[in-house]
């Protein structure tokens, strides 16, 4: 805890050596009244989760498997933008700490040269028309050698160590991530999302690309043009502009 430089985030630190998922632990703690800024970290997750009940590979002591509990005053419909905000904050932290400049694939992945380095999973609990809590889950592949990824991730995943050739100090990087996330969070509470959504655009690897979209109830192709004020992806298709609030986007090779 002494290495943390943030004020709000990391106010309470809950540490596990092994757990199913830090998001699950954080949701339990939040439901039991944990204060805003509580973070949950685990050395390993034996059931790390992605979106749509996909798994997230989280080997012991080789990554940052982190969940952050927030209790924002904004309305529940704004929660999905926290994923984009977090992606910007984590990308900045990685760049400041390692010099590695990554790109963000809409909505929740941080990529380096076509491979995924970070995944983000935002989950919300709302009551009536107010947010009770938001849990932001962040998984950063830090010191995983390329050969240590399971077969199915070999060609699609990477780590900071695989990129830089050096082992990275996880605690220091965690501290930097919390500093950036805290500053982004305070900024959106004070001034709204516009500034950080514009910043998101400068890190995007999705905008301007030909994409295939697998949405909740439709699948289509087009050109990713922009994001709107809700963080939705605007895709120009043969039938006009489609607005994608949630879904999977793959970038079509040129
Ligand atoms: C995500 O989902 O990428 C969200 C991942 C969130 C992980 C954090 S870790 C702390 C917290 N606790 C949790 O249980 N979760 C959060 P999605 O966009 O659905 O991507 C999932 C897909 O990414 C999988 O189907 C794999 O193809 C790929 N994948 C799995 N593990 C990976 C890894 N370590 N690195 C890169 N790609 C991975």
Give yes or no: residues 181 and 55 share one domain: yes
The DSSP annotation for 3-41 comes to: T---SSTTSSEEEEEEES-HHHHHHHHHHTTPPTT-EEE
Q: Determine, yes or no, domain membership for 7.
A: no
Which of 110, 127, 128 has its CA nearest to residue 119? Answer: 110
Q: What is the pLDDT of residue 80?
A: 93
Say if residue 232 is in the same domain as residue 199.
no
96 CB-near residues (< 8 Å, 6+ apart): 176, 180
Q: Which residues, 6 or more positions from 33, have their beta carbon under 8 angstroms from its beta carbon?
A: none
The H or E element spanning position 121 is: strand 115-127
Is residue 209 within 8 A of residue 221, CB to CB? The reply is no
- pLDDT over 70 at 15, yes or no: yes
- To test the pocket of ligand 1, the residue of 21, 110, 136, 139 to mutate (highest count of ligand atoms within 8 Å of its CB) is 139
Query: How much is the pLDDT for 233?
Result: 96
Asked if residue 243 and residue 157 are part of one domain, the reply reads no
State the distance from the centre of ligand 1 to the C-alpha of 53, rounded, in angstroms. 10
Higher per-residue confidence, 24 vs 219: 24
Q: What are phi and psi of 214, to 5 degrees?
A: -110, 100
Question: Which pLDDT does position 226 carry in this prediction?
Answer: 98
Q: Is 149 in the pocket of ligand 1 (CB under 6 A)?
A: no
Is position 2 within any domain? Answer: no
Q: Is the same domain home to 220 and 139?
A: no
3-state secondary structure of 141: strand
164 and 236 assigned to the same domain: no
Residue 207 has pLDDT above 70, yes or no: yes
Number of domains comprising the chain = 2
pLDDT at 218: 78
> Does the Cβ of 206 fall within 6 Å of ligand 1?
no
Determine the Cα–Cα distance for residues 91 and 100; give it in Å rounded to an integer.
Answer: 9
ipTM for the whole complex: 0.99
pLDDT of residue 128: 86
> Where are any strands of DSSP class E within the chain?
13-19, 39-45, 63-70, 103-105, 109-112, 115-127, 130-141, 210-215, 219-227, 233-237, 240-244, 247-251
Cβ of 56 less than 6 Å from ligand 1: yes
Give the domain CATH number at 116.
3.30.930.10
Q: Which residue has the higher pLDDT, 112 or 246?
A: 112
pLDDT digits 0-9 by tens, 131-181: 999 999 999 999 999 999 999 999 999 999 999 999 999 999 999 999 999
pLDDT-based confidence at 217, cuts 50/70/90? confident
Distance 94 CA to ligand 1 centre (A): 18
What atom of ligand 1 comes closest to residue 139's alpha carbon? 9
Residue 254, pLDDT > 70, answer no
Q: Examine the pLDDT at 1 and tell me if it is beyond 70.
A: no
Between the CA of 232 and the centroid of ligand 1 the distance, in Å, is 21
Q: What is the pLDDT of residues 38-82, one digit of tens each?
A: 999 999 999 999 998 899 999 999 999 999 999 999 999 999 999
Helix (H) or strand (E) holding 66: strand 63-70
Which structural domain, as residue segments, surrounds residue 217? 210-251
Q: What percent of the chain has pLDDT over 70?
A: 99
Any idea how long the chain is?
254
Residue 62 exposed, middle or buried by CB count within 10 Å (0-12, 13-18, 19+): buried
In the block, tokens 């999302």 appear at: 193
Best residue for ligand 1 mutational test, from 22, 47, 90, 119 (most atoms within 8 Å of Cβ) = 119
Ligand 1 neighbour 21 (Cβ under 6 A): yes
Q: Is 78 a domain residue?
A: yes
Instruction: Identify whether residues 235 and 183 lie together within a single domain.
Output: no
For residue 135 and ligand 1, the question of a CB distance below 6 A is answered with no
pLDDT value at position 170? 98
Question: Helix or strand or coil: residue 86?
Answer: helix
Q: Is 48 in the pocket of ligand 1 (CB under 6 A)?
A: yes
Q: What is the CATH number of the domain that holds 222?
A: 2.30.30.100
């Amino acid at each position: 805890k002494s290495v943390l430089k943030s004020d709000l985030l990391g106010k309470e630190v809950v540490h596990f050596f092994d757990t199913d998922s830090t998001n699950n632990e954080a949701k339990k703690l939040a439901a039991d009244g944990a204060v805003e800024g509580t973070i949950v970290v685990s050395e390993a997750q034996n059931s790390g989760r992605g979106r749509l009940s996909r798994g997230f590979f989280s080997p012991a002591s080789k990554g940052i498997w982190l969940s952050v509990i927030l209790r924002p005053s904004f309305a529940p419909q704004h929660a999905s933008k926290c994923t984009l905000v977090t992606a910007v904050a984590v990308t900045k932290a990685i760049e400041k700490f390692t010099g590695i400049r990554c790109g963000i694939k809409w909505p929740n992945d941080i990529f380096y040269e076509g491979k995924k380095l970070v995944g983000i999973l935002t989950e919300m609990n709302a009551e009536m028309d107010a947010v009770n809590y938001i849990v932001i889950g962040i998984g950063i592949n830090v010191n995983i050698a390329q050969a240590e990824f399971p077969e199915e991730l070999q060609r699609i995943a990477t780590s900071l160590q695989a990129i830089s050739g050096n082992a990275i100090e996880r605690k220091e990087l965690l501290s930097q991530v919390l500093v950036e996330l805290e500053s982004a969070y305070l900024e959106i509470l004070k001034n709204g999302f516009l500034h950080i959504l514009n910043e998101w655009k400068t890190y995007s690897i999705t905008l301007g690309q030909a994409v295939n979209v697998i949405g909740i109830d439709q699948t289509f192709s087009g050109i990713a043009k922009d994001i709107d004020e809700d963080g939705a992806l605007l895709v120009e298709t043969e039938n006009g502009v489609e607005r994608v609030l949630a879904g999977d986007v793959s970038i079509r090779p040129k």
